[in-house]
Amino acid sequence: MLKYLFGLEKAEKVIDSSLSFAHGWGLAILLIAACVALTVYLYRTVDSGGRRRKLMSAAHLLAALMLVLILMRPALDYKISKPFRSTIMFMVDTSESMAIEDNRTDKADIEVVKKIMEKSGVTSASRIDLAKAALRHTDADLIKKLSEQHELRFFTFDETLQPQSGGEDPLAWTEEIKAEGKSSRIGTAVDSVVNRYAGQPIAGVVVLSDFSWVEGSDPLEASARLKQRGIPLYCVGIGLPDPPDVQVRRMIAPDVVFAEDKIPIRVQIDSSGYKGETSELVMKVDDAEVVKKSFALEGGSQFIEFDYTPEKKSGTINIETSVTPMLDETTEENNQVKHSMRILDEKIKVLYVEGHPRWEFRYLRRVLLRDHRLEVTFLMTEGDDKLPDISEDFLKDFPKEVGDALAFDLVILGDVDSSKFDVRQMELMEKLVKESGGSLLMIAGPVGSPTSYSETPVADILPVSFRTGKWESISDTVHPVLTEDGKISPSTVLASTLEENKEIWNRITPLHEIPPGLRAKPSARVLLTLPKEADTVQDYPLIAWGPYGNGKSMFVGTEALWRMRLEAGSKDHGRFWSQTIKFLTLSRLLGQNKRITLETSRKSYGSGEEVLIYANVLSETYEPVDLSEYTVTIGRAGDDDGSELELTSVPDQPGLYSGVHYAGAEGDYQIKAMLDDAEAANVADFSIVNIPLEGRETAVNTEVARQMAELSGGKVVALSDLPTLPSEFGYPKEMKTTVSRQQAIWDVPFLFVLFVLFAGVEWYVRRKDNLV
């Protein structure tokens, strides 16, 4: 009866019920008693047959009771046992990379795709159409089989997550979707889908994608969270792991060069499917072709290297490097990269102060004199004191006038005892770095650098602390080791690959001795260290640099880098010193030395790429500022307004903050400090070119799919294995839940019908007996 009155479903069972009144049971009983009393009173003297009187009194009483029920607003409280089913989520990637039509060559692969496409009635073979065809595949009958045991929910995702519904046809929505999203946020989408149905049983999530993740939450972290909730992921990879494609992955070139520099340019090219074939690399500068080079594709990753000397003497040039598209290439969008380069027509003024002409001095002097960008002056505190009379390249003494001292961009301090400088000269050395934005480079030596400078301003300038005493011997097997900063520093990167770079530094042995008790200061960035198994203290900062005031300082904790010429080669030795001097002085030449330094990992990005942003924040006393976060603004160049981005502090790096901004629309952009810090901070520039990252990564990322499935407790499902997918979920046990409901009775039409019926019977009998 209740099922009929209240529209309960077949599978729902009432397990408990009770009646309640809006105005309480007390008033209800009182009114019922009044109705009974009134009926007895009215019909006790009615002159009619016994049966008629009983019928009228019963009809009157029942009509009155119906009226009381309506006025008292009764409700039925009841509980039902309701069966429910677990849910399976289907997610289809609609980012741009899913529009790729893969050029398949494997026969078995072609047969699988052909079977799926034919059964679905679809003829094209883009990844998105293949995903739609797989869902509609009549042999697999995937949706029908799963819907018999589970509730199914469908979603598409790219930058955003979109629920889909097809009415009577659960897959009607597939006819309309297109792969046009600018990025694929798989991790974010998976998190969002599961959170929408928090608290409900989810049997699993099926993801159809090429798994080319470029933005949003890390999909591996999202998968691990699903494991904790007992929700497996079933990853269906759509695409080829090695599609026939040639990609210009990056161009390694400096952002700033000097006029007449011969610039080494390395272009990284990734290819698959064309091994042994010949292609052509073209480099254009400001739309004019300047380099054309044929090369053989090796498959995998390879570097094309060449030198280029800009014709322009100053200003900015725009470089585009491209590779000629191959026949049947998957996409041509990733065949070029762009890069901007600033050209300076200035000389770097260097003062090199040295004691005895040791080996390090002899080799470094040759490097300095060969570099056309440098204007070098030497000061020898020991040896022939007539050198300044013979050559204008030598000074007799360190300058004592402000104008003379601050004219230098860099002072290289070799193995010179601090007693060679008076107080005035020390103060000018500090003023050069702290106020004028110059740089100081100390190359350690056993005579006095750094041990004799412990009570001088130079000790404050250096990025390391030290103690006095005799130098310490170390094993001949100890060699320099690159730190994380050293792996990316423009000073210490000497080769196109990390392994080659490591090998160059590993060969610099023996170092013999090192200064005692060296420790990097909190604001220092260590580029090279000695391994922890060395015969000295751990984490010895072999090469470190740090900001000081408006300038920079660097410390080289050995006098044996000249061995690089013997063990690695004169080219690498010269490159290190050339790059280091440029690194230390360019910021002054560009007017960028500030107390707060903003920088990006690169100067040029493609749409959708991560722009890594760093801020090195020092207080007015040039101490690292220790905050949990630091806010900067990002906006188009020339615009005053920009969006705010919170950079978070880097662990164990006081004063250093980092964050990520996703490259969007094409254009030139600037990163600025907030208004209060604007004068103390530089402005970091970067550009975005409109080459969507989705169009660059053409391969299905099988490794991401595998790890996502494993971390969640799920499985990678091949297209050919889709018919077996329902068996992965099995047949779930029937689940029930208890639901409490309240149903109002007073407004049920049946009560009004009864009231009219009973009142009508009483009226009819009364009229028939001619009773008033």
Please report the pLDDT score of residue 463 as a whole number: 94
Max avg pLDDT among 41-45, 224-228, 724-728: 224-228
Q: Sorting pLDDT into bands at 50, 70 and 90, what band is 234?
A: very high
Please report the pLDDT score of residue 737 as a whole number: 57
Which residue would you say has higher pLDDT here, 600 or 3?
A: 600
**In the predicted model, is pLDDT for residue 739 greater than 70?**
no
Report, as an integer, the average pLDDT of 318-342. 88
Which residue would you say has higher pLDDT here, 758 or 342?
A: 342
**In the predicted model, is pLDDT for residue 601 greater than 80?**
no
- pLDDT tens digit sequence for 63-88: 777 777 777 777 777 777 666 678 89
Phi/psi of residue 753, each to 5°? Answer: -65, -45
Report, as an integer, the average pLDDT of 435-442. 90
Report, as an integer, the average pLDDT of 518-534. 82
Q: What is the residue-wise DSSP string for 154-189?
A: EEEESSSEEEE--TTSTTGGGGT----BS---HHHH
Which residue would you say has higher pLDDT here, 24 or 373?
A: 373
Please report the pLDDT score of residue 403 as a whole number: 87
Please report the pLDDT score of residue 354 as a whole number: 94
**In the predicted model, is pLDDT for residue 734 greater than 70?**
no
Max avg pLDDT among 5-14, 51-60, 119-128, 475-484: 475-484
**In the predicted model, is pLDDT for residue 406 greater than 60?**
yes
Asked if 447 and 416 count as a contact pair (C-beta separation under 8 A), the reply is: yes
Please report the pLDDT score of residue 418 as a whole number: 93
3-state secondary structure of 72: helix
**In the predicted model, is pLDDT for residue 528 greater than 80?**
yes
Lowest mean pLDDT: which of 326-340, 377-391, 750-764? 750-764
Please report the pLDDT score of residue 5 as a whole number: 54
- pLDDT tens digit sequence for 267-304: 999 998 899 999 999 999 999 999 999 999 998 889 99
3-state secondary structure of 583: helix
Please report the pLDDT score of residue 622 as a whole number: 65
**In the predicted model, is pLDDT for residue 761 greater than 80?**
no
Task: Give the C-alpha separation, 400 to 408, whole Å.
Answer: 13
How much is the mean pLDDT over the chain?
84
Q: Sorting pLDDT into bands at 50, 70 and 90, what band is 696?
A: low
Please report the pLDDT score of residue 150 as a whole number: 86
Please report the pLDDT score of residue 630 as a whole number: 95
Lowest mean pLDDT: which of 88-92, 476-480, 691-695? 691-695
366 token code pair:
């040759």
756 token code pair:
């009219």
Residue 691: C-alpha distances to residues 132, 215, 294, 339, 663 (Å):
27, 15, 24, 13, 11
Percent of the chain with pLDDT over 90: 28
Q: Sorting pLDDT into bands at 50, 70 and 90, what band is 40?
A: confident
Please report the pLDDT score of residue 543 as a whole number: 95
**In the predicted model, is pLDDT for residue 8 greater than 80?**
no
Report, as an integer, the average pLDDT of 627-650. 90
Task: Give the C-alpha separation, 82 to 735, whole Å.
Answer: 8
Q: Which of 493, 513, 489 is nearest to 503 (CA)?
A: 493
Please report the pLDDT score of residue 352 as a whole number: 96
For residue 654, is the peptide bond before it cis, meaning its omega torsion is within 30 degrees of 0?
no
Cα of first residue to Cα of last residue in the chain, in angstroms, is 39
Please report the pLDDT score of residue 409 as a whole number: 93
Q: Which residues of 253-282 are buried (b: 16+ CB within 10 A; e: fewer)?
A: bbbbbbbebebebebbbbbbbbeeeebebe
Report, as an integer, the average pLDDT of 499-528. 88
Beta bridge partners, 83, equal 736
Lowest mean pLDDT: which of 281-285, 304-308, 604-608, 639-643? 604-608
**In the predicted model, is pLDDT for residue 666 greater than 70?**
yes
Report, as an integer, the average pLDDT of 312-334. 87
Lowest mean pLDDT: which of 153-157, 535-539, 698-702? 535-539
Please report the pLDDT score of residue 145 as a whole number: 87
Q: How are beta strands 151-157 and 233-237 bridged, if at all?
A: unpaired
